[in-house]
Structure 1
Amino acid sequence: MKKQFKSPIVFIDDDCIFCNFWGNYITNNDKSNSIYISIPSSDLFKEAMEKHSNLPNPEETIILYYKEEIFTKSNAVIKIALIMKSWYACLAIAYIIPRIIRDKAYDIIAKRRKSILKDECVINDLRKKEKFIT
């Protein structure tokens, strides 16, 4: 598992269809082909928790673990876009918006996330991918 920590890892809430949709989106569109997706029940998350006691709960926010740093909420989204390369890097312009505003927007979406995409089924699709770590 130590080798996997060198790659960016996105921890998502696996009970959230909206989160799983974005996990699929990342794995399907990651031009760097370096981002892995994992869930709170994984050994990888437990290992990360041992290293970083301040690691938030992935059921409350997206977490990007990259180069021994933790990114959450809007910072995680922007950093993921930068890592994915291609036109997604343009999202870095969002850094000019103060983090408190970006995170407030993130929180509004996060609060409603379980009611978004209710009828979709993307969880099993994500679990089949080689970039999904359990």
Structure 2
Amino acid sequence: MKETYVLLYDGECGFCNFWVNWVMQNDRKGIFNFASLQGNFGQNFLTNKSLPLKRFNTLYLIRPDGTVDEKSDAVIKICSLLGCWYKLGVVFKIVPKFLRDKIYDVVAKNRRKLASGNCPLPTKEQRKKFIN
């Protein structure tokens, strides 16, 4: 049985949905599942971690061992897991976390402006990767 990771994201954000679709398309190993922070799984996760239930300004990556990456650490881990050229994203680990996360926060704050508003619906096969 292969290990899977769960990517939690803002399901009402076009920018976030764009990147979820991008990860899905580049997940050659089939190791990612997805859940919106607004859904049951996401809300349970936030509750268990004592995080705000209505503020969705970051993504979380739950590893198979239950540890959680967030913000820039999650992005870097996703890149490393996708492999190929995306693995080069780990080079950003040399940038101090506080600076990486500051940049992440600026993008997160402006993500609704960055979204095109058009999000393709997932295919039937892709829907199997979503957790409610």
Is TM > 0.5 for Structure 1 vs Structure 2?
A: yes
The residue that corresponds to 2:61 in the other structure is 64
TM-score, normalization by structure 1: 0.82
1:92 maps to 90
Q: CA deviation at 1:13?
A: 0.4
Q: 1:70 to 1:57 in 2, by over 3 A?
A: farther
Provide the rounded CA distance (Å) in 2 between the counterparts of 1:99 and 1:70: 15
- Give unmatched runs, 5+ long, in structure 1: none
Runs of 4+ residues deviating >4 angstroms: 54-58
Aligned-residue Cα RMSD (Å) equals 2.5
Unaligned runs of 5+ in 2: none
Task: Specify the alignment match of 1:26 in structure 2.
Answer: 23
Decide whether aligned partners of structure 1 residues 101 and 126 sit closer, same or farther in structure 2, where only a CA change above 3 A counts: farther
Deviates more, 1:39-48 or 1:25-34: 39-48
Q: What letter corresponds to residue 81 of structure 2 in structure 1?
A: I
Alignment of 1:75 onto 2:77: no
* Letter aligned with residue 26 of structure 1: V
Q: Out of 24, 34, 39, which is 2:36 matched to?
A: 39
Deviation string 1:22-50 (CA, Å, 9 cap, x unpaired) is: 00001110122101111123332244345
Report the Cα distance in structure 2 between the residues aligned to 1:100 and 1:30, rounded to whole angstroms.
28
1:54–1:111 CA distance, 2 compared to 1 (3 A): closer
Cα 1:44–1:53 shift into 2, 3 Å: same
Q: Give the distance between the partners of 1:19 and 1:9, measured in 2 at CA.
A: 15
Please give the alpha-carbon distance, in whole angstroms, between the structure 2 residues aligned to 1:87 and 1:28: 14
The normalised TM-score by structure 2 is 0.83
* Number of aligned residue pairs: 129
Percent identity, aligned pairs only, is 28
